């Protein structure tokens, strides 16, 4: 039974929709093009516009989002369809940001990562927490209007790659659109939170049951576009579009080919699969192939193109997936399709021969840049592989690409004639362990980036985190449903692995990077102690806003990187901040809930519960509750298991646990090296039986037995003993 609670409706809800969109004008302005009877007079005699209904998002408003009437809203995931996350609001600016204070907050009552970008439409803030629970608030006061819980089953926190978080929601014509973790696409009434329609976007049976949705849906001219995740677990990636009014499917585009014996799919991607099929070899379709489009989209309404960023291969190892042959289209690519029909228009593949769990599902944005003396319509992306790409968004032509990290063991450069990477010697995986940087941990991961037309700079959360790679013998590979089927060998040459991991930890970096996409050069950077800082917002107030791994919200000068303001919030936000204006007052909002960002050198890391935080100039008197005191680091038990058992545990941990708990058992959302004696005594009950299911840790009895759980525990004890002396006495 789906739950919703209507707290404020009717006239009261409409009152929350009085909007001002003038950056320096405290008097309300018209907010769109609603019917004439929606216009009323304020108590000061100024004309105020009330939208005809909540979440009044239309093609007209989105294509006129820079108009004075609309700039105070945040109506889409990246604010506009080009996803540049730049706001023209400048009431909060580099001259007064020091007066910023906490206006209101809502405790989301979870310790899990909260990754969603909120929406604000006509004075109402819509937000999504874990398990796709959506709440509407009065954007001025934080008063709750309604909450909708789709009741996603708790086991999806394990069945999905990276936990029960989502990166956001969409709004269209009076409806809030939710892409639920379990594959449901749900529309709820923006006034009441009542369900309007629901559509299941993928099957939950058989191989297809490994899909999940963690990205934000987008709505382009009445079409809801959504991808999915699951490449690590073995699926065939696809993107689909649905009618925003009814939920009916309009088109479907597969990103990798299926079994050639089955013939064409009868979908919009059929012509594209004719291009892709010759680039694959072996029996890849038995493992899905991957290529899931789990987050990155953009749209150009003039060109009528939807841009899709695709993901890694399944399995990860090229030698297993495709016999070490072929480019494997459309893995790690940008694919442009017709928004109306879903038909293929062009593609550019960043990572041919994908062998490294690289994805091109990182944020994309469109812009018009003067390059080489002429204006170019471009799409920009900084994917996992450490290169920043500028591409002609009409044709797919590569304009430029340069690495933005200090070392790149994958490729030395991108050949502008062929568009292909020039791989470093030894980049492809063999049976010998080697260090890759960037690794699957990414030079830039899903965290939103921003582009300011005022400075001409792109701002992103960059990092350098290497990891040890080695390919398993293809004859030894065994596919297991709902397990990370990487094809990596995680057991061989442990001494070499230890040396390489020590090097990776020593070289780990994290920084906020300002990048000039025209000159392909760094403008400035802000260095953090370790990676893990969050998404970015840029504004016309010469501001860049970012949540930091130091458990603060920080604001920098967009032109120089000088720190202008910072507040301790007892959390490390990873979500993208937003800004909006209601009744002539500008606000900044962010979800603060850290998770899903493994960090080697973070050490014991305690935070408060996740919260939605909202700030404005001159706010005072609102204080966050104190952070719980840190616990002492427990002394691990002595290791009594055999080396073979530990090495078996290392392999099982890498396939089942590393995504949430960090590579080599370092960092993650819960560092398992430092379990208490009580937790260790309950280890099998937690891992196999789901003792902590209410915390998101569902049992693994369907993929692990007691012997395998014991091997994982032995590996964790070994890792704790290896690191205890330094960790306990920093």
Which of the residues are catalytic? 357
Write down the residue that tokens 């340069």 correspond to: 402
Q: What b/e string do you get for 186-218 counting C-beta neighbours within 10 Å, with b at 16 or more?
A: bbbbbbbbeebbebebbeeeebbbbbbbbbbbb
Residue 60 Cα to chain centre, angstroms: 28
C-alpha distances (whole Å) from 430 to each of 313, 426, 438, 469, 511 are 17, 8, 17, 8, 31
Phi-psi category of 132—alpha, beta or left, where left has phi over 0 and alpha has psi -120 to 50? left
Contact by Cβ (8 Å): 165, 130: yes
Contact by Cβ (8 Å): 93, 543: yes
- Taking the C-alpha atoms of residue 675 and residue 666, their distance in angstroms, rounded to an integer, is 13
* Helix H or strand E segment including 274: helix 270-276
Taking the alpha carbons of 60, 61, 64, 68 in that order, is the dihedral positive or negative?
positive
Sheet holding 170-172, edge to edge: 170-172, 175-179, 184-189, 195-200
- Taking the C-alpha atoms of residue 636 and residue 492, their distance in angstroms, rounded to an integer, is 25
* Helix H or strand E segment including 660: helix 658-661
Instruction: Tell how strand 398-403 and strand 387-392 pair up.
Output: antiparallel
**How many of the other CB atoms lie within 10 Å of CB of 640?**
8
- Taking the C-alpha atoms of residue 11 and residue 55, their distance in angstroms, rounded to an integer, is 15
Write down the residue that tokens 């009085």 correspond to: 18
């Amino acid at each position: 039974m789906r739950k919703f609670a209507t707290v404020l409706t009717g006239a009261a809800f409409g009152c929350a929709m009085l909007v001002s969109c003038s950056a320096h004008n405290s008097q309300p302005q018209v907010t769109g093009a609603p019917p004439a009877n929606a216009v009323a007079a304020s108590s000061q005699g100024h004309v105020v516009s009330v939208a005809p209904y909540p979440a009044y998002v239309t093609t007209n408003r989105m294509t006129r989002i820079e108009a004075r009437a609309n700039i105070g809203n945040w109506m889409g995931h990246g604010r506009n369809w080009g996803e540049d996350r730049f706001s023209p609001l400048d009431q909060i600016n580099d001259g007064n940001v020091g007066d910023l204070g906490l206006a209101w907050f809502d405790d989301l009552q979870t310790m899990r990562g909260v990754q969603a970008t909120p929406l604000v439409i006509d004075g109402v803030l819509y937000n999504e927490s874990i398990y796709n629970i959506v709440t509407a608030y009065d954007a001025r006061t934080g008063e709750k209007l309604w909450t909708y819980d789709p009741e996603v089953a708790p086991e999806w926190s394990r069945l999905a790659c990276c936990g029960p978080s989502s990166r956001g929601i969409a709004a269209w014509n009076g409806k809030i659109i939710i892409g639920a973790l379990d594959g449901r696409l749900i529309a709820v009434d923006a006034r009441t939170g009542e369900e309007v329609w629901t559509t299941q976007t993928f099957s939950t049976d058989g191989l297809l049951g490994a899909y999940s949705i963690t990205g934000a849906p987008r709505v382009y001219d009445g079409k809801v576009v959504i991808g999915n995740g699951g490449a690590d677990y073995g699926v065939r990636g696809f993107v689909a579009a649905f009618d925003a009014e009814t939920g009916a499917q309009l088109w479907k585009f597969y990103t990798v080919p299926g079994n050639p014996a089955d013939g064409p799919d009868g979908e919009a991607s059929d012509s594209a699969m004719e291009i892709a099929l010759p680039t694959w070899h072996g029996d890849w379709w038995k493992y899905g192939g991957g290529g899931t489009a789990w987050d990155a989209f953009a749209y150009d309404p003039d060109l009528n193109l939807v841009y899709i960023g695709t993901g890694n291969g399944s399995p990860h190892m090229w030698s297993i997936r495709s016999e070490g042959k072929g480019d494997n289209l459309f893995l790690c690519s940008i694919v442009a399709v017709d928004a109306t029909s879903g038909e293929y228009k062009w593609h550019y593949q960043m990572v041919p021969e994908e062998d490294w769990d690289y994805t091109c599902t990182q944020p994309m944005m469109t812009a018009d840049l003067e390059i080489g003396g002429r204006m170019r319509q471009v799409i920009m992306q900084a994917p996992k592989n450490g290169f920043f790409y500028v591409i002609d968004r009409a044709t797919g032509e590569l304009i430029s690409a340069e690495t933005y990290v200090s070392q790149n063991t994958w490729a030395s450069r991108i050949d502008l004639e062929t568009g292909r990477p020039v791989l470093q010697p030894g980049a492809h995986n063999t049976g010998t362990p080697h260090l890759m940087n960037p690794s699957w941990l990414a030079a830039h991961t899903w965290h939103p980036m921003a582009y300011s037309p005022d400075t001409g700079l792109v701002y992103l959360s960059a990092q350098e985190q290497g990891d040890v790679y080695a390919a398993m013998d293809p004859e030894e590979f065994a596919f297991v449903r709902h397990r990370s089927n990487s094809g990596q060998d995680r057991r061989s040459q442990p001494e070499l692995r230890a040396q390489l991991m020590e090097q990776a930890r020593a070289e780990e970096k994290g920084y906020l990077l300002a990048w000039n996409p025209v000159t392909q050069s760094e403008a400035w950077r802000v260095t953090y102690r370790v990676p893990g800082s969050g998404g970015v917002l840029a504004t016309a107030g010469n501001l860049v806003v970012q949540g930091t791994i130091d458990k603060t919200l920080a604001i920098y000068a967009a032109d120089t990187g000088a720190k202008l303001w910072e507040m301790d919030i007892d959390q490390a936000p990873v979500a993208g901040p937003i800004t909006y204006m209601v009744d002539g007052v500008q606000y900044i909002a962010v979800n603060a809930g850290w998770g899903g960002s493994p960090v080697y050198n973070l050490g014991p890391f305690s935070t408060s519960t996740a919260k939605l935080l909202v700030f404005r100039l001159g706010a005072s008197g609102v204080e966050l509750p104190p952070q719980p005191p840190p616990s002492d680091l427990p002394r691990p038990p002595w290791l009594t298991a055999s080396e073979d058992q530990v090495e078996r545990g290392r392999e099982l941990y890498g396939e089942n646990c590393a995504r949430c708990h960090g590579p080599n058992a370092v960092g993650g959302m819960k560092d398992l090296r430092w379990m208490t004696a009580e937790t260790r005594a309950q280890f099998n009950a937690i891992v196999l039986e789901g003792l902590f299911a209410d915390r998101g840790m569902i049992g693994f009895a369907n993929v692990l037995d007691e012997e395998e759980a014991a091997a994982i525990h032995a590996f964790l004890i070994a890792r704790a003993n290896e690191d205890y002396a330094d960790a306990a006495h920093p």
